[in-house]
Structure 1
């Protein structure tokens, strides 16, 4: 058999610290007993075939050395060199982010120089859960679990171990109290949150809805402004780089509806028989569960908006009734609505006059104070309310003969009395 022959090596250089896997190509490698880089034997080698060997370089001084292979037939004599080069130690400049939870799992981007070939990333000596060398200036590493506090992060390559940068492990926040623990659905209540590990809080949420604003007063106190929310309980949480508070035992903040208020009722009056459609205006009327007239439920009602309800007045005795609206937030202030008895006419003075009109007639009766119309037959005419029992009206022009006279108020139309127009004498 022939002595081995070395034709080439790949790669042709590597760090002086050794550890480079080098492919040696040539002939007659079967049964190789030694592979040398200069005078030093390879750390290990594998004969892949009679023409190829994979060898791991030993440590060496900087510079070129001859690569040789020895078999039972001798040692190769060809001058094929591998150059050992000095490798600069890695250096770290930044960590982003620079903090995360004690449970680990934070993806941290390390930037620096000479990071190629990194063999380890450590957090206080604990190996990163995983890491990827993105380039000579960047590594992405996943932080391992660690106790709360600062951990020194380093990168190791064949050139050595880098300087250390600090990564802060943050404990999960815990929320223990809310004062006050309730407020209106409109939000705006300033709530003081107490607990631990609040430093660096990035969010305060009410059922997942961000607080309108918040201020971290200390590691144990946050002041937050409650957002608007539907009535009921809302779970309050604090989020920091250490995680989200109380996932299994959250603190509850209770939203209640604001007390409704009434500003006006239109029309202001109606008949004792009920049935008048009344428009109520005010504030915080959404969710109304009742509309009452002196405690008597409206025949029906519709919530048109937060500021308006349309209700049908129920029957009620004559007089003033207090109208209220009830919602989950409470019962409103009362607004006055007047129940009126239908008007009644007793007499007309005079009860006759000329056909050309203009005669002033005094109508006497009851419940006339709110008179809104006086008619002679189907013709409305001008009138003046003198008192609750008396109205004066101007007779309109019309044909001779009798005509009915009525008075109308919000409570209805009166009985009819007869007025007779008389033609004047003809010549």
Structure 2
């Protein structure tokens, strides 16, 4: 049996232990005297206070907007959510309406499904066992807006077409300021774009750039709330970005390649200057080939037509210029200008008009700038050449005409010595040019034949023949082409009767 002293010690230990347990844990407990304690030991009841609970607070709702039809799932963050009575349907309210449902995730987070509501902002209220939140956490109800408009064909593929739209399902404000607060945007197909206010039920939608060939709907977005897609559609015209070649002969028959976007089997025609292309083929969504018809000198539109509208790009027709070579015209082998007659079209009544026609020339592979003489004549500078003829082609703004051959006249380019006695006998190196000088023949000094041998590169070693009379004369020859050489100062040779 315990002594009175032992009983008092046991009772004190029991009280201390009970106090520690109830303070560390939660609900209140009652503690009786310890087993075996003296009957006179007191009965001790120790009660610990409940954990501190507060009225719930809300700090954020995401998303902060949703349709007036309800059904938007939002996440609410804050504190005090763990003591919500989850059997209470009114624990979470949007305005004065209970949430359609809610789930408490933790003391700091819950999710809720919004009920239907009227357009505008409402307070979100949360109630736990300690009371209802008093903060100003809001949720924005937005009316889904529908775009109504007449279906459009031919929107600019680069963007910028403005479309008038009637708004149904709600209004968009009575002023630009109210409209800005409504945060209304639009989506054309899958591309977002801007909207301009007109009046409470009308807006202007700026159509964005698009290369899509299919019809596209418009959706209005009211502060993040996506409305129904429109019944009407927008179709974009094909985009035509380039054509090659960009300049063609007035004779037609050339094949051009048209590059762009929005080409498809729905391309119904290609016209050039208002005339249907001789033929065309859609190679891909970005390329068409077409055979151009005959046309007149000048610039004309090339129009590609599809179900979405038309795309246009300019094409320039140029008359091919022919050449007539006046009788007796020849170019010196060391170069010089020749006068040529132009056929096929006039080249301008003035030098300024000629410049606008952008006429150039080629002689062989060399590029030449011809000089205007009058509406049907030009001068062309022939480069030095050892050939029998130079092929001249006139290009009218890049369009080539029929080539013509201008003869080069063979000439003596130089003599290693320009004098000898009447008896002759000196050796002179004669260098010639023009007329294909590799097999020249019939060298003569003042009409007297000379014996000459080729030294290569247009050089011939000649023995000066005897002459009957002193004085100046010249050296002549016949080129490989069969053309007789022409006189030049370099061909002058002198006979002297002095030893």
Task: State the TM-score bracket (shorter-chain normalisation).
Answer: 0.5 to 0.7
Residue equivalent to 2:22: 12
**1:195 corresponds to which of 160, 168, 173:** 168
Q: Any conservation in 1 of the 2:74–2:114 contact (CA below 8 Å)?
A: no
Aligned residues: 348
When residues 342 and 132 of structure 1 are mapped into structure 2, their CA distance, relative to the original with a 3 A threshold, is same
Measure the CA separation in 1 of the matches of 2:18 and 2:146. Answer: 68
Query: Which structure shows the bigger proportion of residues in strand conformation?
Result: 1
Q: Any conservation in 2 of the 1:324–1:331 contact (CA below 8 Å)?
A: no
* 1:39-78 matched pairs, under 5 angstroms: 66=30
Which entry has the higher C-alpha Rg, 1 or 2?
Answer: 2
1:175 aligns with 2:139: no
* 1:156-175 matched pairs, under 5 angstroms: 156-157=128-129, 159-163=130-134, 167-168=138-139, 170=141, 172-175=143-146
Q: Any conservation in 2 of the 1:95–1:165 contact (CA below 8 Å)?
A: no
Measure the CA separation in 1 of the matches of 2:169 and 2:46. Answer: 64
Provide Cα deviations, 1:314-356, integer angstroms capped at 9, x if missing partner: 5748x526543223443647654223364344x41477x9x88
Structure 2 residues not aligned, in runs of 5+: 1-13, 33-41, 173-181, 348-358, 395-399, 410-482
1:207 aligns with 2:189: yes
Provide Cα deviations, 1:287-323, integer angstroms capped at 9, x if missing partner: 57747377363788999xx9xx998975748x52654
Residue equivalent to 2:320: 340
1:184 CA displacement: 1.6
Measure the CA separation in 2 of the matches of 1:361 and 1:110. Answer: 93
Provide Cα deviations, 1:259-302, integer angstroms capped at 9, x if missing partner: 869999865x6484855x8899xxx9555774737736378899
When residues 228 and 85 of structure 1 are mapped into structure 2, their CA distance, relative to the original with a 3 A threshold, is same
Q: SS of the residue aligned with 2:217?
A: strand
Measure the CA separation in 2 of the matches of 1:378 and 1:145. Answer: 83
1:245 CA displacement: 0.9
Residue equivalent to 1:330: 310
**1:228 corresponds to which of 209, 229, 234:** 209
When residues 380 and 176 of structure 1 are mapped into structure 2, their CA distance, relative to the original with a 3 A threshold, is closer
1:238 aligns with 2:216: no
Residue equivalent to 1:143: 113
Measure the CA separation in 1 of the matches of 2:361 and 2:227. Answer: 70
Measure the CA separation in 2 of the matches of 1:380 and 1:335. Answer: 24
Measure the CA separation in 1 of the matches of 2:336 and 2:81. Answer: 113
* 1:25-36 matched pairs, under 5 angstroms: none
* 1:275-314 matched pairs, under 5 angstroms: 286=261, 290=270, 292=272, 295=275, 297=277
TM-score (norm 2): 0.50
Measure the CA separation in 1 of the matches of 2:126 and 2:369. Answer: 100
**2:393 corresponds to which of 398, 402, 408:** 408
1:10 CA displacement: 10
Q: Any conservation in 2 of the 1:348–1:362 contact (CA below 8 Å)?
A: no
Measure the CA separation in 1 of the matches of 2:301 and 2:227. Answer: 43
Measure the CA separation in 2 of the matches of 1:393 and 1:196. Answer: 76
Residue equivalent to 1:71: none
Residue equivalent to 1:103: 70
1:84 CA displacement: 5.2
Q: SS of the residue aligned with 1:233?
A: coil
1:118 CA displacement: 2.3
Q: SS of the residue aligned with 2:208?
A: coil
Measure the CA separation in 1 of the matches of 2:147 and 2:368. Answer: 76
Q: Any conservation in 2 of the 1:235–1:253 contact (CA below 8 Å)?
A: yes
TM-score (norm 1): 0.56
1:186 CA displacement: 1.8
Residue equivalent to 1:81: 46
Provide Cα deviations, 1:45-92, integer angstroms capped at 9, x if missing partner: xxxxxxxxxxxxxxxxxxx77367xxxxxxxx9635334559655143
Query: Which structure shows the bigger proportion of residues in helix conformation?
Result: 2
Measure the CA separation in 2 of the matches of 1:271 and 1:129. Answer: 77
Structure 1 residues not aligned, in runs of 5+: 1-5, 23-63, 69-76
